[in-house]
Chain A
Amino acid sequence: EQQVQQSPASLVLQEAENAELQCSFSIFTNQVQWFYQRPGGRLVSLLYNPSGTKQSGRLTSTTVIKERRSSLHISSSQITDSGTYLCAMDLHNNRIFFGDGTQLVVKP
């Protein structure tokens, strides 16, 4: 069973549009992280958001534990935002599970 589900699988935007990425979990978790990855690149932590809403620059994450979901909002998208966005959650015993990611393409 896939523990972490992400949607959409892929997304194409025009520059300056906003994006909303979704993540849902099979169980309750209080440890949610969002990552960014360029093709073949290192994963970079964007936001660590166990609950509520957190913001970092143009990124806003909202996690609702009781609904087992988290979202990542990207405002005023830029071409350099293109890449894969992954969410991850803790299951138990510090085992961290990842979704398959959302591939974002921002076009000029």
Chain B
Amino acid sequence: EAAVTQSPRSKVAVTGGKVTLSCHQTNNHDYMYWYRQDTGHGLRLIHYSYVADSTEKGDIPDGYKASRPSQENFSLILELASLSQTAVYFCASRDWGRNTGQLYFGEGSKLTVL
């Protein structure tokens, strides 16, 4: 079973503070994604990566940075957290092997910015 783990699962941050959300996958997948979900809505793509040491912008990258230091790890960084970044953040990895494109998600990181 493919595994994606996120940390922290929940965090309260102050406006202007720095927040780092971490994601670790043991699937040996090349592609990894960061999404945010706001209450009652679907997921919006923030950043993604298809190889270590490289990241790509998604639909809503402003205010976020991403880092992919290894195939297994993908971090989302909020240098100056703002109230509007309160949301649940999901990390996913993508299998281009046997299941051809299936996404595997982590359990989410709930971020509250005060």
Contacts and interface: CB of A to CB of B under 8 A. Distances in A.
A95 interface: yes
A14 B84 CA distance: 38
A92 to B, nearest CB: 12
A97 B101 contact: no
Contact of B99 (A42, A43, A48): A48
Contacts of A93: 56
Given A40-B108, A41-B108, A93-B56, A31 B101 contact: yes
Interface in A69-86: 86
A100 interface: yes
A48 B42 contact: no
A43 B41 contact: no
Contacts, number: 63
A42 B106 contact: yes
Interface of A: 4, 6, 31, 33, 35, 40-45, 48, 50, 86, 88, 90, 93-101
B77 interface: no
Nearest to B58: A95
Given A42-B108, A95-B59, 14 more contacts: A6-B42, A42-B90, A48-B102, A86-B42, A86-B43, A93-B56, A94-B48, A95-B45, A95-B48, A97-B59, A98-B35, A99-B42, A100-B41, A101-B41
A98 B43 contact: yes
Interface residues of B, number: 29
Tell me whether chain B's interface is mostly helix, strand or loop, or mixed.
strand
A94 B31 contact: yes
Contacts of A99: 42
B19 interface: no
Nearest to A45: B102
A94 B50 contact: yes
Nearest to B33: A96
B113 interface: no
